[in-house]
Structure 1
Amino acid sequence: MRVAITGGHGFLGWHTACRLRALHGVDAVRLGRAELDDPQALGDLLSDVDAVLHVAGVNRAGTDDEVERGNVALAETLAAALAAAGRPVGVVFANSVQAELDNPYGRGKARAAEILSGAVGATGGSFADILLPNLYGEHGRPGYNSFVATFAHEVAAGRTPHLSGDREIALLHAQDAAAALISAIGTDTRTVVGAESIGIGEVLALFQEFHDLYVPAAEVPDISTPMRRNLFNTYRAAAFPEMWPVSPQVHADNRGDLFETVRAHGGTGMAFMSTTHPGQKRGEHYHLHKVERFFVVKGEAEVQLRRLLHDDVVTFRLSGDTPSFVDMPTLWVHNIRNVGETELITMFWSDQLLDQANPDQFPEAIAQEALA
């Protein structure tokens, strides 16, 4: 299956592309602003795709009219490209629940749905109109994607964001939104995706709770519910990589050294050890939700991480001479390699017991050729 994502380099587009790769083995064609500026060129790009996930949108602009018109213009460009392609293509529109409201953003999204529905109908394709609530998740842009992204970055930086008002708001994690979009491929439907309500002030309080526990000693907070886990992963993404590695306090006596590797407030978890011969490597995978820690107990190790669908690699050097650890962010490919001359002893911890049927572990190499 060939899938194209408009706005494929943005927040929801990236999450959706990651999910397609992880669960469906599909590397999406990710379309950005440059491709959306030329309907004819866009039509050429869509000539061999089976489905288009229209995620691109305008959330913020200088004026309300620019917000409304911007979303309409994106739909018009895609509609023209579908007509130029001259063949049935299924379209899934990442709409907003605000499309049912009379505001500039809502009017723009509602009109975009009408334009796309007409264009798809003219070519014989399927059209799914998926109305999404407020989204949050890893690597949202502060000041743009949501108040959650703003709060996460501010708290991770040690600042206290201003809370101008408090109310209940429905939130949906970006991976759940991506799941709804992907499952709608090939269908004709209009669906309002449900979400969990939470107070804006409660979100801020949770981030502050996470920060107070996580920064001093990387203590894992209560992540016993999906909302807590997803917000914690959002906070961890905002804190990465600046806070790593962490070296805990070492208690030494004539018997040897004692140090704490993981302390968790809630939920289940598992810890295990490994030995790795010189030059050998472990990992080369990523997770969608799992919270995982690598703790080097003895030997010399290099930990590499690369954000999925990105090129830059973050590298940490850890040594058993100064026991230290790094937590693996979700949706980051990671590995650990023995770069010393003696055996490497590593302790691993994750917040969930291994489920062989659903391990939340997807193989991929750090090396750049893995992106080809």
Structure 2
Amino acid sequence: MKVVVTGAGGFLGWHLRARLHALTSHEIVPIDRRNFDTIDRQVRNADVIFHVAGVNRGSDSEVEKGNVELAHAVANAVRKSWDAPRLAFANSIMCGNDSPYGRGKAEGRDILAAAATSVGSPFVDVVLPNLFGEHGRPRYNSFVATFAHAAANRVVPEINDRQVELLHVQQAAKALMDAIDVASAATIRPQGEPTSVAAVWQTLSEAHSLYRSGDIPPLATQLDVDLFNTLRAAMFPHAYPVSLPTKSDHRGDLVECVRAHGGQGQSFISKTVPGVTRGEHFHLGKIERFLVLRGRARISLRRLFHDEVVSFDVAGDEPAVIDMPTMWVHNITNTGADELVTFFWTHTIFDPDNPDTYAEKVDRDGVVAEVGA
């Protein structure tokens, strides 16, 4: 299938593109500010259009009119295409309220629904609550992003407590993808997790206090996992590697590889001959830890759809962990002359029916940014 994603360079658009890339073999056509003027050509022969692009910052007029104008551009492209692509709209629970954003989203929804009807295709209205997740922009996408960056920098933000419903952005992407299989016009309203602003800050700040020394915080709920992954993204790459203390006595040395405060996990060790690379994959939600026990290695990572590669050179005689951020392709290469022994830990036990491991190479001829020693 040919799948068009508007707003592909934004927060939700990037996550939707990452999920489509991981779980499908569809041809994905990303549209963002740089090429939005080509939308008429891009939607030709499309099977699905995800309209994710939106305006949520600016003057009242810019926000309201901006969302309406984007919807008109997509609707006109659909009509000109002479096709009947399924059209899914990333809407908001604010749609229809008496605010510029709410009014703009409501009018945009009606414009898109009318366009879908005119070409005989289904229109799916995906109504989303407050979104959060990895690589959200602080003071822009979500208060959670603001709090995650504040925790990472040991700053206490201003907290105006209130009850809030939070949905991880990967679950929002899943709800949008569910629209592919809807046969007729429909509304999808995924449910988030009820919490409070103060509770989110408490979880993030306590997680950071434990994690900055290498401990894994309590991961009792999926919300805990999602908030921790959001925090880890805010800390990457400047907080890594995380050095682990070595305890020594007359018997020798001891290093605690993982100190997990509750939850389950799985540990394993690999041996790698010189010059060989392991990994070359990414995860959507799994937390994975690398720790070299013996030998020398280079751990390299690249964020999905980006070119820059971040590399860390590590060695067994200086114990330090690097935890793989979600949706970053990663590998480890034995750069020494001897056998490499590496310890790995994941926060879940491997499930062959849901491995959350997707093959892709780190090397995309990008610019290598050396980090660490």
Q: Hey, what's the Cα distance between the residues in 1 that align with 2:71 and 2:215?
A: 46
Q: Hey, what's the Cα distance between the residues in 1 that align with 2:119 and 2:156?
A: 52
Match of residue 172, structure 1, among 160, 167, 176:
167
Q: Partner of 2:242: helix, strand, or coil? A: coil
Q: Deviations over 1:317-371 (max 9, x none)?
A: 001121211000011111101000000010001100011111111111112179x
Larger mean Cα displacement after TM superposition, 299-308 or 192-201 = 192-201
Which residue number in structure 2 is paired with residue 261 of structure 1? 257
Q: Partner of 2:95: helix, strand, or coil? A: helix
Which residue number in structure 2 is paired with residue 270 of structure 1? 266
Which residue number in structure 2 is paired with residue 119 of structure 1? 115
What is the Cα deviation at residue 27 of structure 1?
A: 4.7
Structure 2 residue 52 is the aligned partner of structure 1 residue 55:
yes
Larger mean Cα displacement after TM superposition, 72-81 or 190-199 = 190-199
Structure 2 residue 211 is the aligned partner of structure 1 residue 205:
no
Which residue number in structure 1 is paired with residue 17 of structure 2? 17
Q: Hey, what's the Cα distance between the residues in 1 that align with 2:247 and 2:203?
A: 31
Q: Partner of 1:347: helix, strand, or coil? A: strand
Residue pairs, 1:227-238, within 5 angstroms: 227-238=223-234
Q: Hey, what's the Cα distance between the residues in 1 that align with 2:27 and 2:244?
A: 40
Q: How many residues align?
A: 364
Verify the 8 A CA contact 1:126 1:186 in the aligned structure 2. no
Verify the 8 A CA contact 1:292 1:328 in the aligned structure 2. yes
Which residue number in structure 2 is paired with residue 214 of structure 1? 211
Which residue number in structure 2 is paired with residue 44 of structure 1? 41
RMSD: 1.3
Q: Deviations over 1:272-314 (max 9, x none)?
A: 1111000011111111111110000110000000111111111
Q: Hey, what's the Cα distance between the residues in 1 that align with 2:208 and 2:318?
A: 24
Gap regions ≥5 residues in structure 2: 367-373
Which residue number in structure 1 is paired with residue 371 of structure 2? none
Q: Hey, what's the Cα distance between the residues in 1 that align with 2:156 and 2:165?
A: 23
Q: Hey, what's the Cα distance between the residues in 1 that align with 2:252 and 2:83?
A: 71
Gap regions ≥5 residues in structure 1: none
Q: Partner of 1:184: helix, strand, or coil? A: helix
Structure 2 residue 145 is the aligned partner of structure 1 residue 159:
no
Q: Deviations over 1:107-141 (max 9, x none)?
A: 10000000001111111221101110000000001
Q: Hey, what's the Cα distance between the residues in 1 that align with 2:50 and 2:166?
A: 21
Q: Hey, what's the Cα distance between the residues in 2 that align with 1:133 and 1:337?
A: 42
Verify the 8 A CA contact 2:175 2:188 in the aligned structure 1. no
Q: Hey, what's the Cα distance between the residues in 2 that align with 1:28 and 1:47?
A: 13
Larger mean Cα displacement after TM superposition, 75-84 or 333-342 = 75-84
Q: Hey, what's the Cα distance between the residues in 2 that align with 1:214 and 1:364?
A: 28
Structure 2 residue 344 is the aligned partner of structure 1 residue 328:
no
Larger mean Cα displacement after TM superposition, 350-359 or 119-128 = 119-128
Q: Hey, what's the Cα distance between the residues in 2 that align with 1:253 and 1:191?
A: 61
What is the Cα deviation at residue 254 of structure 1?
A: 3.9
Which residue number in structure 2 is paired with residue 108 of structure 1? 104
Which residue number in structure 2 is paired with residue 301 of structure 1? 297
Larger mean Cα displacement after TM superposition, 51-60 or 17-26 = 17-26
What is the Cα deviation at residue 191 of structure 1?
A: 2.2
Verify the 8 A CA contact 1:127 1:186 in the aligned structure 2. no
Q: So what's the TM-score if we normalise by structure 1?
A: 0.95
What is the Cα deviation at residue 35 of structure 1?
A: 2.6
Q: Hey, what's the Cα distance between the residues in 2 that align with 1:201 and 1:193?
A: 23
Q: Deviations over 1:62-120 (max 9, x none)?
A: x1121111100100111111122121111100000111322111110000000001111
Larger mean Cα displacement after TM superposition, 180-189 or 274-283 = 180-189
Which residue number in structure 1 is paired with residue 30 of structure 2? 30
Structure 2 residue 237 is the aligned partner of structure 1 residue 226:
no
Which residue number in structure 1 is paired with residue 176 of structure 2? 181
Q: Hey, what's the Cα distance between the residues in 1 that align with 2:237 and 2:60?
A: 36
Q: Partner of 2:94: helix, strand, or coil? A: helix
Verify the 8 A CA contact 2:96 2:105 in the aligned structure 1. no
Verify the 8 A CA contact 1:17 1:27 in the aligned structure 2. no
Verify the 8 A CA contact 1:276 1:345 in the aligned structure 2. yes
Q: Hey, what's the Cα distance between the residues in 1 that align with 2:292 and 2:161?
A: 43
Q: Hey, what's the Cα distance between the residues in 1 that align with 2:341 and 2:25?
A: 33
What is the Cα deviation at residue 193 of structure 1?
A: 2.0
What is the Cα deviation at residue 197 of structure 1?
A: 0.9
| Deviation beyond 2 Å, 4+ runs, structure 1 | 252-256
Structure 2 residue 351 is the aligned partner of structure 1 residue 355:
yes
Q: Deviations over 1:174-193 (max 9, x none)?
A: 00000000011253211222
Q: Residue 181 of structure 1 aligns to which amino acid in structure 2?
A: L
Verify the 8 A CA contact 1:90 1:186 in the aligned structure 2. no
Which residue number in structure 2 is paired with residue 342 of structure 1? 338
What is the Cα deviation at residue 48 of structure 1?
A: 2.3
Q: Hey, what's the Cα distance between the residues in 1 that align with 2:150 and 2:271?
A: 39
